[in-house]
Every structure is written in C-alpha cells, then in structure tokens.
C-alpha cells in the first residue's frame, strides 16, 4: 500500500492526461488526451459515458466500481482488455503511468506502475487518487449491509496503511473457521483459529469505527447543506460491543477483549448454524435521519432525494479522506451526478463541489446543462456508440 502523507496547506493534485483503451466494455480502441482542468462528456444513455469513467477508476482499485467481474469488462466477442492511464502532478509536473490488462483465457490480470509490476496487487492500489460519484451510489444507502461494508473497506484499503492486510487475513481465517463449523470440528480445533480471527478482526473493526466516528460530523455538515438544513448522521453498528465509542476512539485492546467474550457467548449457536456469527463481516454502517419521533433508518424510511443526498455526502467525506491521507486533491469523476435530483439539491451540491474539490473534474451528462463545475470552462466532448468526439 501507498504510504500515508501528511496533509499540506495547498495539496497537489494528479490529473489524468492520457487514456488508452483496447477492448474495454463498448470501446474497440480509444485514445484520449485530457485537459488538466478536466472535461464534460455529453452523450445519450448507453453511449459509453459510465464505461469511460469506469476505466479511469479501474486504475485506482483494479476492479469495476459497479461490481462487475473482469470477464464482463472485456468487449463482447473479445479475448482481453487493456487500460493505460498517464497522470501528471499539476504542481510539480511529475508523471505516473498505470496500466491494467485482463485476459479471459486463464483469467489473468496484469498491473504495472511506471512499467514495473508490483509484488502484490494491493501495493498498486490507490495510485490515482480518484473519487467517483455515480447514481448507483444510492445502493450504498439502500442496499444490504454488505454494500456499506464494501464502501468502508474500499475507502480504508486505499487510505489507511495496514487495513487491507488485516482485512485479507480476517477473510481468509473466516473462511477456514466457517468450514470447520460446518464440518463439526472439535472445540480445540476451532479455538486454534479464534485468536487470528480476533486479532485481525479487531483491527478491521477499530479502523472502521474510528473512521466513521472521525467523519460523522463532516457527513452531517454536508448532508445538511445539500438538504437545506435537514439533519442526518452516521454510526458504526458493530456485532461486537465497542466500549464507550460515543466518548472516545476505540482501542484494539478493548475491541479484542469484547470480541473474545462475544465469541464465547455465541459458540453454541455457531455450532448449530455452522456459521461465525460475530465479527466485522456482520457489521453495518447505520445512516440515520431526524423525524418528529426521533431518529429513523434512512434506508427504510428516507425519500429518494434523502437517500441520494446521503450517498453524495458519503462520497464527499471519501474525497476529504483522500486529501488528508495522500496530501493531494482527488480526481473527481462525476457520472450524471444530478440525475433524479430537484434543482435545489443539485445547485447546493454544485456549490459544495466548487468549494471543496479543486482537482481535475471529468463529468458525464446526457445533455447540455448549466449545472457544470468550473463555471462552464470545461471543454465539452461528445460520445456516441463507443466513440468520443473532442
């Protein structure tokens, strides 16, 4: 993983200057040179707008932000895809090249940074520093808890050193432990996996809970500004009781003790069900809003506008995390951001983006719009049938 960088007063920013695609989604061949400030790409639905942003963001996480397997990213009838991005630091002029390729045969993926393949894929994650805003983000709010865990895991894997390693170890041990529970293994054999599960799982829980706690106020502030004053907030709901989370950041020691006690309490039910019942794989990010009767779960009782507002606020605190962790402004990818939003909310989102996001902006929209970042100075390109007209 990349190293943590102390935030400076005026952060630098990478900009995507060149993008080459071969056999990716609906693109046969595509070679683009982006202006440093960014660009607005206009086209009908199905023309490839989202696919283009997906390709840029693929170089950040090396998988589809839409959750599609790599096989589905290969152009219909093709055997492989290739993506190359060339990025430039807008302050220093320094460059970085990131490539990714996938072959259907053997399901082989290859990644390189400045021509060198990393020892582990995780070492290359987060090299772009991009945040994507998409209408599909609403699934973070409306979907199952796994959607919100995935959001947290991506943010922390990219921006918190050591998190990805702890998460991967936890998942590996969890698979082994669940298999042993299903097979009816003895208590002694099961306990052999417990310490590793507790140690890695506690680190995951602490990192998630601390991030949510640290960003809760920023989430509320952005939500209220977009919603015109209506309140909402986030809270980490752990299956392991976290002591005194409201008053202090959790410690690994406290969570470890609570995790161990909780495993002991549910061991009989785990044997009956053949499943590990506590741990970060059972946790959730609660997204709540105020009502006349108190707080309510936005997933179950919020309106469409409230859910979309919460999703955008989550992406904005993700962008804030990138700035603080990496010391540079993120590349902002806006995929039809204002779809299904009333003009008031859309205008307030634009004001926030203008105030906070100083990095390159790559925007897609189905038609010309006055709601455009950078005061309308972005170049406007057209896209149709997998071809971009600059």
- φ and ψ at residue 103, rounded to 5 degrees: -115, 130
Mean pLDDT of 8-31: 86
Residue 369 confidence class, pLDDT cut points 50, 70, 90:
low
141-159 pLDDT, tens per residue? 999 999 999 999 999 999 9
CA end-to-end span of the chain: 36
pLDDT at position 6, please?
34
Is residue 80 within 8 A of residue 102, CB to CB? The reply is: yes
Residues 321, 386 within the same domain: no
Residues 117, 240 within the same domain: no
Residues 112, 200 within the same domain: no
Residue 225's domain is classified under what CATH number? 1.20.1050.90
Q: Please provide the DSSP assignment of 290-358 as one string.
A: EETTEEEEHHHH--HHHHHHHHHHHHHHHHHHHHHHHSEEPEEEEESTTTT--HHHHHHHHHHHHHH--
Query: Could you list the residue range(s) of the whole structural domain that residue 68 is in?
Result: 1-127+363-390
pLDDT at position 110, please?
96
Residue 302 lies in a domain: yes
- Of residues 293 and 252, which shows the higher confidence score? 252
Long-range Cβ pairs for the range 185-193 (8 Å, 24+): 187/267, 190/267
Mean pLDDT of 349-361: 86
pLDDT at position 9, please?
39
Residue 340 confidence class, pLDDT cut points 50, 70, 90:
confident
Mean pLDDT of 88-92: 85
Consecutive H or E run containing 81: strand 80-89
Residue 215 lies in a domain: yes
Of 309, 329, 349, the last residue of a domain is: 329
Residues 152, 221 within the same domain: yes
Residues 379, 300 within the same domain: no
pLDDT at position 165, please?
96
pLDDT at position 236, please?
95
Percentage of the chain beyond pLDDT 70 is: 95
Show the DSSP H helices in the chain as ranges. 49-61, 70-73, 138-142, 145-159, 163-182, 187-227, 252-273, 298-301, 304-326, 343-356
Q: How far is CA 381 from CA 6, 14, 60, 230, in A?
A: 36, 21, 24, 37
Residue 188 lies in a domain: yes
- Of residues 344 and 15, which shows the higher confidence score? 15
Residue 21's domain is classified under what CATH number? 3.40.50.300
Query: 0.85 exceeded by the pTM?
Result: yes
pLDDT at position 5, please?
35
Q: How many domains does the chain have?
A: 2
Residues 307, 367 within the same domain: no
């Amino acid at each position: 993983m990349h190293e943590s960088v102390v935030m400076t007063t005026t952060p630098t920013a990478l900009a995507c200057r060149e993008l080459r695609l071969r056999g990716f989604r609906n693109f046969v061949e595509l070679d683009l040179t982006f202006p440093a400030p960014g660009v607005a790409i206009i086209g009908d639905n199905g023309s490839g707008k989202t696919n283009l942003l997906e390709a840029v963001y693929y170089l950040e996480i090396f998988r589809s932000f839409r959750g599609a397997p790599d096989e589905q990213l290969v152009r219909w009838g093709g055997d492989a895809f290739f993506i190359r991005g060339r990025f430039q630091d807008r302050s220093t002029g320094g460059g970085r090249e990131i490539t990714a390729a996938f072959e259907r045969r053997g399901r082989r993926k290859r990644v390189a940074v400045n021509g060198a393949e990393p020892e582990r894929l995780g070492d290359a994650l987060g090299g772009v520093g991009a945040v994507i805003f998409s209408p599909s983000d609403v699934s973070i709010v409306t979907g199952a808890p796994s959607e919100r865990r995935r959001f947290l895991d991506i943010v922390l894997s990219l921006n918190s050193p050591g998190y990805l390693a702890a998460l991967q170890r936890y998942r590996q041990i969890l698979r082994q432990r669940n298999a042993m529970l299903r097979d009816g293994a003895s208590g002694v054999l099961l306990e052999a996996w417990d310490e590793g599960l507790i140690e890695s799982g506690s680190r995951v829980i602490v990192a998630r809970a601390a991030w949510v706690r640290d960003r809760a106020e920023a989430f509320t502030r952005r939500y209220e500004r977009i919603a015109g004053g209506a309140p909402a907030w986030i809270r980490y709901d752990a299956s392991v009781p976290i002591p005194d989370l409201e008053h202090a950041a959790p410690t690994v020691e406290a969570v470890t003790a609570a995790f161990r006690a909780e495993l002991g309490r549910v061991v009989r039910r785990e044997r009956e069900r053949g499943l590990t019942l506590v741990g970060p794989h059972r946790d959730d990010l609660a997204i709540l809003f105020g009502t006349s009767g108190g707080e309510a779960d936005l997933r179950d009782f919020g309106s469409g506008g409230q859910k979309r507002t919460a999703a955008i606020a989550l992406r904005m605190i993700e962008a804030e995390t990138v700035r603080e962790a990496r010391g540079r402004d993120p590349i902002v990818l806006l995929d039809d951001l204002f779809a299904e939003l009333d003009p008031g909310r859309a205008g307030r989102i634009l004001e926030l983006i203008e105030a906070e996001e100083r990095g390159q902006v790559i925007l897609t929209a189905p038609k010309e719009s006055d709601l455009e970042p950078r005061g309308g100075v972005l170049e406007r390109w057209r896209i149709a049938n997998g071809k971009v007209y600059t």
